Amino acid sequence: MLTTNDDNIPEALCLIDGQWIAGEGPCKETISPSTGKPVSKVHYASAAQVDAAVKAAERAQLEWAKRPMAERADILIRAVDAIVPHVEELSVWVSREMGKTINESRYEMGPLTVDVSKAAVEDARRFGGSAPPPYDAAHTTRRVMTVYEPIGVAGLISPWNFPVDMLVGCVAALVVGNAVVWKPSEWAPLSPQLAARIFAEAGLPAGIFNLVYGGPEIGEALVTHPGVGVIGFIGSTAVGEQITRAAGVKRLLLELGGNGPMVVLDDADIDAAVQSAVESCFYMAGQVCTAAERLIVHEAIHDEFVSKLVERTKALRMGDPMDDLTEMGPISEERIMAKIERHVEDARAQGATIEVGGRRDGMYYEATVLTGVRPGMQIADEETFGPVAPIIKVASAAEALAIANDSPYGLSMAVWTSSLKTAFEMAEGLQAGAVAVNGGTNDWEINGPFGGYKKSGIGRELGEDSLRAFTNAKTISFNTL
Ligand code: NAD
């Protein structure tokens, strides 16, 4: 599956109109965060190659959209199934390139990519419109139907923390009759290319599925291309806002950043909440959009919660992501590490206490628990994207709710309580696309719509929501004269 050059470093290639070719732009090497050695490289596409990919997609889409849904669905199920025997190999590449543990990569490749892609195809098999009655009683001869039609070409842009998972977006866009140009992250290019190669070569017609690489300028070339009718973007809020400005009047599905609060109230099951906090704060070393970035803890149980969390945090196994027993891998890139260090230092300088952790060793950052955190500190107000559990002490559920919602983000939130009444009040009051009661912020439900309130995104993905995001509704009325 690999293309290597003289230096034996595998290179990710672009896929344009059915041809695998190197980008014409500058070369970027990926350094493995766990070994510090080059692990893959990619040549960025040129703007002309982006144009060629979009034009190939436009041509191929005309024929693809005419095929019956069942035929498109069968082709895509075969293409996704072709990935299954390679899940382990692809997981190894995800871990090598961006450093999450092999078990975290297996979860991305299996449940999150293969299973959810297949679910998108199955949802599409039954996806249809409606036949509402005419509004006006005088229209006795009128019959109405609403249908969902493909938009044309979908431009999909994805981040490095889930480098392959955007295949789900590709499948959702394709199954309803669009063609796709996907720009994976330039920071983890090989794993998406290997998955895309298996997928594309399992019977997809040339041109309907294209892959281009590059940084912000190539992303922008895709966003602003007149042939691209819908943008699916997963990434930071800052870039999501740039895309919103650059896209103009285009359909947008934006899955952006978060600053997830996990509220632990005085009647919570403390041991279960501590375990959930560990999983919410330290999964993927905190480099997840749905990570718990703020632990808002009631003063009555604060000290017991902190001491149990510190004990559990000390026992966490940090190390080689390829080792099955490792619970936390390295930080993926220096720019992420710099932000973590800046946020922890800002909190410490403003009076927070580092209960455990707070140090880096190469690209590893220790799992860290901070107490005495207050709104206004960078660690409380911004997305940190690191293995830090910042604890904010509160006196009541009402105060917890106000602090949780006092954020520009609203992606995933959680609350721990044993009161049904409080659970409902908090679940209904928290301003986020996902709320877990007696669960963690990463415990969002795959079978429901996924997306953010406020600056955490526009639109929803998964299930019918993804299919609607990649289609235009058309209402047709017939007069049966
Ligand atoms: P990023 O926004 O820096 O980059 C994401 C992608 O956008 C990359 O492919 C990049 O090349 C491209 N890009 C950068 N500038 C662009 C521009 N001006 N126009 C078009 N494309 C451009 O994000 P990242 O660092 O790769 O990923 C981490 C971020 O993604 C975090 O904020 C995280 O919360 C978020 N994220 C959100 C979800 C979600 O579902 N809500 C999932 C995963 C990650």
The answer to whether 365 and 387 have CB atoms below 8 angstroms apart is: yes
CATH number at residue 265: 3.40.309.10
Same-domain check for residues 360 and 464 = no
With cut-offs at 50, 70 and 90, classify the pLDDT of residue 155.
Answer: very high
Q: Could you tell me the distance, in angstroms and rounded to a whole number, from the CA of residue 146 to the centre of ligand 1?
A: 34
pLDDT recorded at residue 8: 83
Q: Count Cβ neighbours within 10 Å for each residue of 91-108 and write b for 16 or more, e otherwise.
A: bbbbbbbbbbbbbbbbbb
Mean pLDDT computed over 188-217: 97
With cut-offs at 50, 70 and 90, classify the pLDDT of residue 144.
Answer: very high
Asked whether residue 417 is domain-assigned, the answer is: yes
The answer to whether 159 and 234 have CB atoms below 8 angstroms apart is: yes
Same-domain check for residues 250 and 378 = no
Asked whether residue 141 is domain-assigned, the answer is: yes
Same-domain check for residues 211 and 271 = no
Give the strand pairing for 457-458 and 251-255.
antiparallel
Asked whether residue 6 is domain-assigned, the answer is: no
Strand order in the sheet with 209-211: 19-21, 14-16, 209-211, 179-183, 153-157, 230-234, 251-255, 457-458
Give the number of the atom of ligand 1 that is nearest the alpha carbon of residue 411.
41
Structure token digits, residue 374? 């207050």
Give the number of the atom of ligand 1 that is nearest the alpha carbon of residue 214.
11
Least Cα distance to 332 among 164, 100, 109, 89 occurs for: 100
289 as an active site residue: the answer is yes
Could you tell me which residues are beta bridge partners of residue 10?
4
Q: Which helix (DSSP H) or strand (DSSP E) does residue 20 occupy? A: strand 19-21
Domain extent at residue 121: 11-256+456-477
pLDDT recorded at residue 397: 98
Same-domain check for residues 139 and 94 = yes
pLDDT recorded at residue 2: 56
Q: What is the pLDDT of residues 401-417, one digit of tens each?
A: 999 999 999 999 999 99
Same-domain check for residues 203 and 350 = no
Q: What's at 212, amino acid-wise?
A: V
255 as an active site residue: the answer is yes
For the chain, give the percent of residues with pLDDT over 90: 97
Asked whether residue 90 is domain-assigned, the answer is: yes
CA distance 463 to 25: 37
Q: Does residue 5 carry a pLDDT above 90?
A: no
With cut-offs at 50, 70 and 90, classify the pLDDT of residue 480.
Answer: confident
pLDDT recorded at residue 481: 79
Could you tell me which residues are beta bridge partners of residue 255?
234, 457
User: What's the total number of domains in the chain?
Assistant: 2
Question: Which residue has a Cα nearest atom 17 of ligand 1?
Answer: 216
Q: Which of 58, 255, 366, 383 is catalytic?
A: 255
Q: Does residue 1 carry a pLDDT above 70?
A: no
Give the number of the atom of ligand 1 that is nearest the alpha carbon of residue 183.
9
Same-domain check for residues 115 and 15 = yes
CA distance 332 to 284: 10
Same-domain check for residues 61 and 112 = yes
Q: Could you tell me the distance, in angstroms and rounded to a whole number, from the CA of residue 236 to the centre of ligand 1?
A: 4
What are the DSSP calls for 116-162, one per residue? HHHHHHHHHHT---B-PPPSSTT-TTEEEEEEEEE-SEEEEE--SSS
**Mean pLDDT, the chain, integer:** 97
Question: Which residue has a Cα nearest atom 30 of ligand 1?
Answer: 235
Asked whether residue 293 is domain-assigned, the answer is: yes
Residue whose entry in the numeric block shows the structure tokens 């040129």: 46
Least Cα distance to 162 among 183, 191, 182, 199 occurs for: 191
Q: Does residue 169 carry a pLDDT above 60?
A: yes
Mean pLDDT computed over 448-476: 97
Same-domain check for residues 373 and 460 = no
Q: Could you tell me the distance, in angstroms and rounded to a whole number, from the CA of residue 234 to the centre of ligand 1?
A: 5
Asked whether residue 39 is domain-assigned, the answer is: yes
Q: What's at 203, amino acid-wise?
A: G
pLDDT recorded at residue 3: 53
Q: What's at 344, amino acid-wise?
A: V
CA distance 289 to 294: 13
CATH number at residue 128: 3.40.605.10
Q: Does residue 386 carry a pLDDT above 60?
A: yes
Q: Which helix (DSSP H) or strand (DSSP E) does residue 183 occupy? A: strand 179-183
Q: Does residue 371 carry a pLDDT above 90?
A: yes
With cut-offs at 50, 70 and 90, classify the pLDDT of residue 136.
Answer: confident
Mean pLDDT computed over 117-137: 94
Q: Does residue 6 carry a pLDDT above 80?
A: no
Residue 213: other Cβ atoms inside 10 A: 25
For the chain, give the percent of residues with pLDDT over 70: 99
Mean pLDDT computed over 162-189: 98
Asked whether residue 74 is domain-assigned, the answer is: yes
Asked whether residue 46 is domain-assigned, the answer is: yes
Mean pLDDT computed over 318-336: 97
Same-domain check for residues 473 and 350 = no
Same-domain check for residues 243 and 139 = yes
Q: Which residues contact ligand 1 via a Cβ below 6 A?
A: 157-162, 183, 185-186, 215-216, 219-220, 223, 234-236, 239, 242-243, 255-258, 289, 383, 411, 457
Q: Could you tell me the distance, in angstroms and rounded to a whole number, from the CA of residue 235 to the centre of ligand 1?
A: 2
The answer to whether 116 and 446 have CB atoms below 8 angstroms apart is: yes
pTM value is 0.97
The answer to whether 244 and 256 have CB atoms below 8 angstroms apart is: no
